[in-house]
Amino acid sequence: MLPTSEQQALIEHPISSKVFLQGLAGTGKTTAGALWLQKLILSGIPPHQILVWTPQRALAQPYLDALRQMDQPVFSLLNTITLGGLARRMVDLFWPAVSRVVGVANPDLPPHFLTLETAQYYMAHVVHPLIVHEGLFSSLTINRNRIYSQILDNLNKAAIVGFPHHEIGDRLKSAWIGDVEQIHIYDDVQVCVNHFRSFCLAHNLLDFSLQVEIFLQHLWPSALCQGYLTRTYRHLIIDNIEEDPPVAHDILRTWLPEFDSALIIFDENAGYRYFLGADVESAYTLHRSCSEMVHFSDNQVQSLPITHIQSGISRAIASLNRKPEPSADLMPEDIRAGLETPGEKIKYFPAMVDWVADRIRTLIDAGVPPGEIVVLAPFMPDVLHFSLANQLDALGIPHRAHRPSRSLREEPATQTLLTLAAVTHPDWNLLPKRINLAFALMQAVNGLDLVRSQLLTAYTYKEFAKENAFPLQPFEVVPPATRDRITYRVGERYDRLVSWLHSASQEDPQTLDFFLNRLFGEVLSQPGFGFHNNLESGNTIATLIESIQKFRWAVGAQIGPEPFTIGKEYLQMVQDGVIAASYMHSWEQPDEDAVFLSPAYTFLISNRPVDYQFWLDIGSPSWYQRLDQPLTQPYVLSRNWQEGDLWDAEDELSAAFDSLHRLSLGLLNRCRKKVFLGMSELDVRGYENRGLLIRIFQQVFQQAQKGAA
Enumerate the domain spans of the chain: 5-81+234-296, 87-216, 304-405+590-708, 408-576
This prediction's pTM: 0.86
The DSSP 8-state label assigned to residue 578 in this structure reads P
Q: Name the nearest CA neighbour of 679 among 603, 615, 600, 595.
A: 615
Question: Which residues, other chains included, contact 462 with Cβ-Cβ below 8 Å and sequence gap of 6+?
Answer: 469, 471, 472, 473
Which CATH architecture best describes the domain 304-405+590-708? 3-Layer(aba) Sandwich (3.40)
pLDDT given at position 518: 93
Would you say 328 and 315 are in contact if contact means Cβ atoms under 8 Å apart? yes
Question: Which residues, other chains included, contact 8 with Cβ-Cβ below 8 Å and sequence gap of 6+?
Answer: none
Q: How many CB atoms lie within 10 A of CB 383?
A: 13
Q: How far is CA 138 from CA 120, 124, 126, 486, in A?
A: 20, 16, 16, 49
Mean pLDDT for back-to-back runs of 10 residues, the chain (709 residues): 87 93 92 94 92 92 89 82 96 95 93 88 92 91 88 96 95 92 95 96 95 96 94 95 95 95 93 87 94 91 84 84 65 77 81 90 94 90 83 89 68 89 90 92 90 92 78 91 90 94 87 91 92 81 86 68 73 72 48 84 86 90 86 93 90 89 91 89 70 84 67
Exposed, middle or buried, 135 (CB in 10 Å: 0-12/13-18/19+)? Answer: exposed
C-alpha–C-alpha distance, residues 646 and 627, integer Å? 19
pLDDT given at position 329: 60
C-alpha–C-alpha distance, residues 680 and 689, integer Å? 7
pLDDT given at position 582: 45
Q: How far is CA 568 from CA 259, 466, 521, in A?
A: 49, 19, 22
- What superfamily in CATH does domain 5-81+234-296 come from? P-loop containing nucleotide triphosphate hydrolases (3.40.50.300)
The DSSP 8-state label assigned to residue 428 in this structure reads G
C-alpha–C-alpha distance, residues 172 and 705, integer Å? 46
Beta-strand runs (E) in 268-372: 292-296, 339-340
pLDDT given at position 696: 87
C-alpha–C-alpha distance, residues 146 and 578, integer Å? 9
Would you say 291 and 314 are in contact if contact means Cβ atoms under 8 Å apart? no
pLDDT given at position 178: 86
Sheet with 261-267: strands ordered across: 79-81, 50-53, 235-238, 261-267, 18-23, 292-296
